[in-house]
Amino acid sequence: MNRDRFSVATFNLYNLQLPGTPMNPGQKVWTAEEYARKLTWIGAQLKSLDADVIGLQELWHRDAMADVLSASGLDQTYELIASPADGSRIICAALVRHGRRVGDPVWVDRFPDAMRLQSTTPMDPQSPGIYVNVPRFSRPVLRMSIALRDDHPSVEVFVTHFKSKLPIRIDTEVWYMQDPAKYKAHTTALGSALATIQRTAEATALRVLLTEVMKGTVTPVIVLGDVNDGQHSNTLNILTAQPRYLVGEFSGGADIGLYTAQTLQEYRDTRDVYYTHVHQDLRESLDHVLVSEQFYDHSKRRLWLFDGLTINNDHLNNEEHRLHGTGDHGVVMVSFVHKPLKEN
């Protein structure tokens, strides 16, 4: 097995659930007609991508994704990795071209032991202490190994979906109900702060997992996911460890750093048109492909050369997703060509 090219993608499925089956509180179930349109649209997107590895978010039931593959004739192309998807919650899942996966996939629910957000003696004497207790990911992180070539280590792929910017509901909390007049005017601010804390904690916990895999090793790593935050957000800064770009020809590379495909594309293009989500006319980049130094052009440990990024996002121009079967996120695909840096 020696691939000269490969591609990865991240795809938020917009609540892919079996028809008539409950989802989150307040969400209408899919009718049979709506479900059929979703299957058709998702299948067409997958055929258009033709990626080797596709990270999936917002999958409720594995049978729904199996229906997509069957209806589109892709069941002989892809292995569906979605064993925990029993319809009771949304999970991260993946499609992998048959014969590429090695070992067993795992879903990481609990935060690692080294994940601790506590400070009782801050360096700034004016700063108060802080303690944040978030024990787990809102959606478990999928981790799997992918073999691309016999002469390179397997690639560790992480598929993730962080807490959205939607404010966390607080009006059902005991402390709120004991004095609603005090808190009612501030529910959005308080709920948004909680959502930000959750998302930041998740980014940090995944960063801890990534560092444990990457530090002092040559293991190639790819992160695919809807992180619900932008390219220069604190969420991405924590997750990527902020490696330097363009540090000189073949002298770069960061042991634990991750490079955003969005930035790699910006260095190849003269115009930035990257957006994967539209909310109240604001175009944002929430869905990302992050890669380790083995996929960075200027790294002294480069194995793969960045070969371009594409985004399918025309469907975001119309918000009638139920009517058309479309999703509410753009689909991002990144391609690479095998081109290790030659030693002098």
- The tens-digit pLDDT sequence of the chain (344 residues) is 677 999 999 999 999 999 999 999 889 999 999 999 999 999 999 999 999 999 999 999 999 999 999 999 999 999 999 999 999 999 999 999 999 999 999 999 999 999 999 988 878 888 888 899 999 999 999 999 999 998 899 999 999 999 998 999 999 999 999 999 999 999 999 999 999 999 999 999 999 999 999 999 999 999 999 998 888 899 999 999 988 876 555 556 788 999 888 888 877 765 555 656 555 555 667 899 999 999 998 888 999 999 989 888 777 777 888 888 898 888 999 999 999 987 64
Is there a domain that residue 29 lies in? Answer: yes
Domain of 98? 5-108+137-163+205-338
* Residues whose CB is less than 8 angstroms from the CB of residue 20 and which lie 6 or more positions away in sequence, other chains included: 29, 30, 31, 32
In the numeric block, which tokens belong to residue 1? 């097995």
Long-range contacts formed by 337-344: CB under 8 A, 24+ apart: 337/4, 337/5, 337/304, 337/305, 337/307, 338/3, 338/4, 338/5, 338/148, 338/149, 338/303, 338/304, 338/305, 339/302, 339/304, 339/305, 340/302, 340/303, 340/304, 341/250, 341/299, 341/300, 341/301, 341/302
Dihedral over Cα of 153, 291, 107, 119: its sign: positive
- Phi, psi for 294 (deg, rounded to 5): -70, -15
CA within 13 Å, CB half, 234: 8
Is there a domain that residue 273 lies in? Answer: yes
Q: Specify the pTM.
A: 0.93
Dihedral over Cα of 316, 313, 228, 95: its sign: positive
We report the CATH number of the domain holding residue 266 as 3.60.10.10
Q: Give the Cα separation of 47 and 11 in Å (integer).
A: 13
Q: Within 10 A of 114 (CB to CB), how many other CB atoms are there?
A: 10
Note the pLDDT of residue 81: 98
Is there a domain that residue 123 lies in? Answer: no
Is there a domain that residue 73 lies in? Answer: yes
- Residue positions counted in the chain: 344
Q: Give the Cα separation of 236 and 203 in Å (integer).
A: 8
Is there a domain that residue 268 lies in? Answer: yes
Q: How many domains does the chain have?
A: 1
Note the pLDDT of residue 344: 47
